[in-house]
Amino acid sequence: MDRSALPAQARRLPIPKTFDERGVRRYGFHGLAFTYLLDELRRLAPDEADARLILAHLGNGSSLTAVTGGRPIDTTMGFTPIGGIVMSTRTGDIDPGVVTHLMRETRATADDLERLLSRESGLLAISGHSGDVRELLAREPEDADSRLAVTIFCYETRKRIGAFAAALEGLDGLVFSGGIGEHASSIRERICAGLEFVGVAIDRERNAANAPVISTDDSRVRVRVIAANEELVIARDAYRLLH
């Protein structure tokens, strides 16, 4: 998937144009994963591949991309993989004023701050002990901080799905992928709870079984679970380049 094809309103950051000309803009990441998901949709259901889609790659690093006609129109990650929704150890989007405040309060260097925002924040910081969703789910019944971390992750993901549905002017398909998206049925269920207004209806038995399609038969939005294979995309591209 060519992320350079993002439209200007999604790509341009609200900073002086001189920085944009030097390449400081929203790029988005997980392009290999999303390329594979679209290729799989073209194989499994060609009519869905060109529809209004949200691809949710949820794992240690997580991002969502809105796609229509097989082309991306927006993405949660920005100039670096730190931005977007909250992740295992990354903040996701954060008020820039927090960053400048931390610089003044701690006299941190740029490298110090990058380490904090990328490796010491996110679900790890909220829970106080782990950024691994499996551990958080296991501990949340007795641990309020673990419960809050899971709640925030699901809330932020659901919020972005709603926003992207607006950007797409409707929604036809939602695809979950990545370690969390493929295996954590309870996370998928919590994310989709409350999305009925955009046409999402989950079949709880299919979801619990990690079925390829987890939406109900009468759901207006087809919800799928597809295991990403980024290595295959790399191999295919290398083959094309060499031949």
Q: What is the pLDDT of residues 51-87, one digit of tens each?
A: 999 999 999 999 999 999 999 999 999 999 999 999 9
Strand partners, 213: 224
* Residue 218 per-residue DSSP state: T
Chain centroid to Cα 203, Å, comes to: 22
Positions of the chain with pLDDT lower than 70, given as ranges: 1-4, 232-233
Distances (CA, A) of 134 to 192, 193, 226: 19, 20, 19
Q: How far apart are CA 160 and CA 66, in angstroms?
A: 10
pLDDT confidence of residue 3: 46
**Phi, psi values for residue 65, rounded to 5°:** -135, 135
Which residue ranges form the domains of the chain, and what is each CATH number? 3-88+132-242 (3.30.420.40)
69 CB-contact burial (10 Å; exposed 0-12 / middle 13-18 / buried 19+): exposed
Residue 102: how many other CB atoms lie within 10 Å: 16
